[in-house]
Structure 1
Amino acid sequence: MRNKDTELNFLMGGGEIGSMMRNHDWSTSPLGHPETWPQSLRSVVGLLLNSKFPMFVAWGPELGFLYNDSYVDVLGGKHPQALGRRFYDIWSEIWNDIGPLIDCAMAGEASYRENLPLLMRRKGYDEQTWFTFSYSPVRDESGQVAGMYCACFETTAQVLNERHRIKENERLHQLFEQAPGIMTVLREPDHVFELVNHAYLQLIGHRNPIGKTVRESLPEVEGQGFFELLDEVYKTGKTYVGSRMPIDLQRQPQGPLEKRFVDFVYQPIKDDAGKVTGIFIEGSDVTDHYHAQMELQRLNRELTDKVTQLESAERRAMESAQQAERERSRLDALLEAAPVGIALVDINGKLIRINPANKILWGETLPNPENVDEYEEWKGWWADHSVRHGRRLQPYEWALARALHGDNPRDIVEIEPFGMPGVRKTMLNCGAPVRNTEGRIIGAVVAQMDITDQIHAEAALRESEAKFRTITDAMPQMVWSTLPDGYHDYYNQQWYLYTGVPEGSTDGEGWNGVFHPNDQAHAWKVWQHSLATGKQYEIQYRLRHHSGEYRWTLGRALPIRDGSGKIIRWMGTCTDIHDQKLAEEALREADRRKDEFLAMLAHELRNPLAPISAAAELMEVASMDPARIKETSRVISRQVRHMTGLIDDLLDVSRVTRGLVTLEKQELDVKRIVSDAVEQVRPLIESKRHHLSMELAREPAHVVGDQKRLVQVLTNLLNNAAKYTPAGGNIHLKMETTEHEVILSVKDNGIGIAPELQRHIFELFAQAERTSDRSQGGLGIGLALVRSLVELHDGSITCHSEGIGKGSSFTLHLPRLMAQERPTSDRHEIRFTSDPEKRLRILVVDDNEDAGNILGMYLEALGHEVIVERGSRRALERARIEKPEVCILDIGLPDIDGNELARRLRAQPHTAHSTLIAVTGYGQEQDKMNALAAGFAHHLVKPVDTSELLAILSTLKLS
């Protein structure tokens, strides 16, 4: 007696679900108690219970549902009620999505889905989820599909994260476009432009320097010292900071030089080994600031002059006081109205005057130092990205202190205003000494500008640009962008790698020149329409690849709009779809040829069916004499042989083209091949009254090959020549030899071959295009078979025709076997003899009653004892009683197939040594191998070649 606990060992372990299965009430489950489960289900359940991957199995006609601990999170509130229930009752809300996949699994076909969206109700409400999973069939002990098996994992978080990442990338791109700072990257010792932003292009007049050196792009800068500074930074690896650097630029084509003032930081770019590989330049165009400062200095000079005038006026006379007061009022008005912070100090550094803007910068509690040493109270740090960046300013380093020594400093510093602990501001400090009429320094002035927002914007722009270019260069598509008016100003590296054009050469409208000439006008028209309407740009065109080939490409672009809906930029991609386009064209061509072949095949099969049907009806209704019956029988036999030939041709070309034919190679005399082929085709040639001439080489010519197949090749060529040559035509067969080849050619003066067909003449079904009346018959596979057989003999075949009505010629080249290379052949022929006195007991099994009865009548007419059965089980019973020496079995039987019936007959003592012959419509090589493995001694394909069957029976001996 079996122990119950032992019966349930496969449920041991498995965590919470394993424990639930052992204690579950299975009385209401379609699965029944686990003790009754088949071994195949137990194996699958044991596997999923011990897996940490979410899994379930659905078993039986009602798909009872079982799962593991890892699947509990997927079920949510449906657990634990789901255990053992019907699959549909658990997941009815998503059945429309998964039902077809379940049907496929139960039909024996596995499936896989990635990120499939499912609207699930597992927590009392509908929630959108995504899953990646596979459904696989599970078979029982008999090999039948009894259930299905699933491994899955939820990808909802990944899908939502990917959508969030796309939105973030769009935001970074907008930040990049809005950043005002100047930035560019130079590479190599020659300082080749690798990256530039829009602000830099504005500075140099929208010239595109990408891929060019600085000297090539900005020749007018020669002699202004910039090239030398770049060389120094690249050579030494030291950062250079330049303030208010004057530069003369030609910002308009053929225009005059324009002086601009720029703040630049030249930062070396180093590799992991510390070697300088390029220079990163950032800065800002401060021309407007410079002119404002110059105006301020002018005012300062005016102020100094006025102060001097006031001092002189006080010494000269009281009458000058009124004029001095007016000048002081003007100065006060200037200081009050100035948008930058201004401070004046005396020769000792004592603060004597500040304007309101300065108080806004430093706070209302600004101290009043008596001298430079008291500048220690001011908190400031260098912020110029030099080696001193971040270091605290000493009292003597402030711009006012240095101006008192005659300097004109221009510094970028970060300060902490008084009374605002923790607050930081970035300022531009510009100082200048104040001199009297004798040129002696009597004080100093400083102008201070808050540039905090500008610094933050420039930093954000640098980060955004780096992310944007990294993302676009990593994409497999070509990415580009334009200004709102359609001016192309950016391409990623994929564009230049794909097209091979120099960087910058397709900016503006240069892109249209890379398109195929026939596509340029249309592409330009569609692009202009999108620019005018703001609608999405999408088009397919041919783009010139760097190899020179024009390849089909899908172009798409979308507008980017600001908060008011105004288009501020266009972003686009180009995707290579050339292989897809070619595949679609090839598929359409294959579909067309398939339809033509099916129509032609139907035509060819109906042709012999018509006389067969007419002959059968004639034999049924008419009283015919023996001569008429014999003639009718010949018609049927002749048409059956024709249909058999068509089917054999199809199977033959399938086996040959798939490499499933084994050649019986031996040394062959080519003249013998020619003789056999001519003998086979002579009836057709004579029936059409053709004149066949032959020109054969005198010397012997031998090859290594298969006699039957080479005769088949030459017969096919001669048959084609005869069929496609009008009656009374000429056919010339020629054999030539060279040192290494035997050359056979067949030439006719028939209908010829059109030039466009000659390229496809050796492809399958090409004959369907050769003649429109289909009068010659055939499936159009002969020449495809010929080429395959010739190539199996290491030869080649060519075709030539001058055109329609000018005849055609086919030339066959085979490797010649010289005398010293001829192998010794041990091939011998097997000849069968027939003994008409021999009587055999034969069992015929065929579910087609007519086929079985006709074969039985034929064998009885030959003198044999025949038993005919339609079913396998009845045939086994008759075989035990009748003990047949020969069993002729159909393979495609309905209850037990012929291969299984053969195995059972071999297992019975009375038929263990009987000769088993398979008669079937399945003629592939694998079918034959399956039959021999099941115990058959011979494999014949329907309709049976009676001469082959008689040859087999004639060799058998009575037991």
Structure 2
Amino acid sequence: MQDANPTVATPLNLMFAERKRSRLWHAAPFFVLALFYVDMWLPMVISMPVCYMAALVLIILAPNGRDKAVLAALCTALTVAVYIGSLTRPGVIPWVQIVTHCFAVSMLWVVTALEFRHRSAQKELRDSEERYRTLYHGTPSMYFSVDRGGLVHSVNDFGAAQLGYSPGELVGRSVFDIFHEDDRATVAAQFAQAFEYPGKLTQWEFRKLRKDGTLLWVREWVRIVKNDTGVLQALIVCEDVTERKQTEDALRQSERLANERLAQLKSVYASAPAALAFVDCDLRYVTVNDALAAINGRSPEEHIGKTIRELVPRLAATVEPRYRRAIETGQPVLDVEVRGHAPAKPDEYRYWVSSYYPVKDDTGRVLGVNVAVRDITQRKRSEQDALFMLDVGECIRLATEADELPWAVAVALGEHLNVDRAGFAEVDTDHDCFIVQRDYHRHARSLSGTYGLDLFGPDIVSEARAGWSVVVNDIATDQRTAAHPENYVKLGVSAYVVAPLLSNGRWTSSLIVASQRPREWRDSEVTLVMAVAERTWLAVERLRLDTALRQSEAQLRRLVAILEQTTDFVGTADTNARATYLNRAGRKMVGISESADITGTTIADFHPPWAARVVTEVAIPQAIARGLWRGETALLGGDGTEVRVSQLVLAHSNTAGKVEYLSTVARDITEHKQLEEALRDADRRKDEFLATLAHELRNPLALIRNVIDLLRHPGASPAEVQRSHRIVEKQIDYLTRMTDDLFDVSRITQEKIELQKERLELGEILRAAIDTCRTQIDEQNHKLWLDLKDAPVYIDGDKMRLTQVFMNLLHNAAKYTPRAGSIWINQQHHDGTVVVSVRDNGAGIPAQSLPHLFDMFYQVDRSHLQAEGGLGLGLTLVRRLVEMHGGSVDAKSDGINRGSEFIVRLPVLAQPCAPMPLPIPPANKIKLPQLGHRILIADDFPESATTLAKLLVESGNQVETANDGLEAVHVAERFHPDIAVLDIAMPRLNGYEAARRIRAQPWGKEMILIAFTGWGQSRDRDRSKEAGFDMHVTKPIKYDVLLQLLQKLSHERRDTSSAKSA
């Protein structure tokens, strides 16, 4: 058992001693009276000393100077009385003795009565002073965090100040020490019981001691929760109710004095800060002060004589039973909480605490009820906000996903504030937009999406960029939004609060709460939104950093594993070029064992002297200045030989731009250097060969095409025509595609190709490619799906080249997919880029082939397929053409027989206002025209000229042929054709010169001249135009297309001639 505190024991001992002396003092008058009677029977010699001794004892026992003076006077009177009594013994002068005795007794009782009255007044004064010391003035709420043992873990500054302590003096101290000693046992019992019901809100009222010893009454709300470590702790919210106690005492006193001081009460009602009123037994207002009148939204005069139900019908059902109870029982009804919509502001929900005190007359009859109302809305809101922040903290503590936390908090905040919308938005100031991923929306559609910052207007954007909270109570009246209310109307927003969040001075995100109706946002609501925004976003950033850190660590582990497996020299060094890391392959290349310590080794030590100077004097300074250096150096092998390498040196900087370390990667290029020159020469010869081959193959292709078109007409058996057509046309398509690829690769390699860009609708390109490959797809009985999401999508490109890209991809998909396979074409639009995927379920691509798939002449091993191979140029051409359009192409495959997917990415243009052009119907659905013209065919390949002439004759034309340029001029002079189709590369006289000579003649000025050649580059077309040709056509061309072209040119020339005649 603990010893008593000596500082407490001494006052207690003094108090007990004082009580003993007080008892003796109170007994003193009776003792003196007894002596007075005794002295009547004792001789004077004895009675006088006895009286003197008794008086001396009583004076010593007197507690204070006043008592001593009174006692001295009394003893003097008694002494005189005793003396007179001694002179008048019995029988001598009895009346004098009687008078003396009466006088002494009267004096004794008068003095005693005066003393008792004095002591009672002193006691009342001490009681009054004690009650005054218990009053407490201050704010109503204090916050504590206490463990099960009652030790204070935390206390807010306000709570500590209210108790006269600093927070540090209370933390670690028992919470029971600050309660009144008479309440501590009860508090401890209820405190222990509260821990048996975690989560339950418990309420009590007790007295507390300040540091200076004064008392205050507090009402406490206690909830038991788990802290971050899972240990139960008590969260305590306290309200100073001392003032309420005083108010209650004042009202009780007013009840006793109601009839006499009614006029005084009216004055008190008018000036009191609390809401006060007096109603009679019919519940009609008799007196009401301004504060209560303001709550009801009426003037005090409007209340007098009106019933509660007449003035506040919405609250009548709640408060009338309390009035009736006070009237019927004659007992006060105290501290009743009332909640509801304020009569003065029907849209606002408020809280009050009301006490009802019956007023009685002298007979005990109830005259009416005094009511005291305190508005505790702010306190309740503060409590609710505090509990809400505790819930938010718990939500943040349990959160594991950065993307889910803002949504969960937004839902909780929206419901807590009773708003229509709430959500976090990430701000992209570079693109002047903000993105809402997910939002809370009540009775309204979600606003998830991307919006421009100009939606808010310049004033609000400026405030948000500066980090100021934005509060708009009504978009129609706020000067910042009144100019463009339609921006908000379409979103269903009439009032909102924006809490901007800045990172390093940059606006990165915001928490937005909004209402569909105008709303007067309270300062506490704005403060709460700001607090929730900051706390939540800090947690989101922390979760993202944690996730990024875990990913970074995993990536680092993978990177180290990769670096240890790579065959390249990989190392790192500090800014002084001292090595800090070298991978396994690097150690092997420079002859260092894997266990050797490289501390203190510089990068120069790994190179021969000349290469070391390049690295230290050139590579490292340039890498630090530019971030990267690339070049060829050499490493010093373990045997002293030089290993030629292609080396990359990189400088890695922190966020402040300061270089923290260097890294280098070096690859052995010894064999590469030996082969480089040979490959360069072979590449040069290859380009020449491809260009020549592409030109030389076009003449036989023209012959084959003419034969196919010839066989379409009557003359051969139907079976033969059909068989010949399939065989020859299939070979023609193959040879044509191969020739075009060879030619295009040659031009792209030499950078001589020029794109004829225009604004295109990508869906049209895809449909054109499908139409071109339709025959091949149908022959293989493939199924084709075309999915054009986000259509139409517009790009800036060369129509012919882009059609060629997707035609190549479709051709490969059809070619390397077994019969009755499936091909999918999908188009999607993502952030300014259109992504087109061509996927099949065919032969697939081996994993080892994927990195080389787009290399020139690369052939995938297709030995398991029956499909014929190619020259390996199609995908090279696809990649080059896509890159020339500013895009990229990738290939994916899960392996052999698992299908493949080619993904093309192209930049997107804004959509034009012009309507989409109508697609051109397939050629096989157009009826071939009958021209009836005079036509000259000139070609140094006689079979080609003869077959084409025969086709044109069968179409109703008059045709003559020539086999060189000079002959063509002579035939034209004699024949005067309407149309002349001339090859370019003819002997004796080329097509350009032949055209010039024809144009120089009067009969040749109006003649239609068509260059029909295997040369198809842009400079060839320019030369044709300069020579006087109307059109440049590249071999081969389908006959029906040629007829349409001739017909078109004839109509244009006829229209031109008619216009000139007019």
State the TM-score bracket (shorter-chain normalisation): 0.3 to 0.5
Structure of greater relative contact order (alpha carbons < 8 Å, 6+ residues apart): 1
Judging by fraction of residues, say which structure has more helix: 2
Q: Which has the larger radius of gyration?
A: 2
Instruction: Name the TM-score, length of structure 2 as normaliser.
Output: 0.33
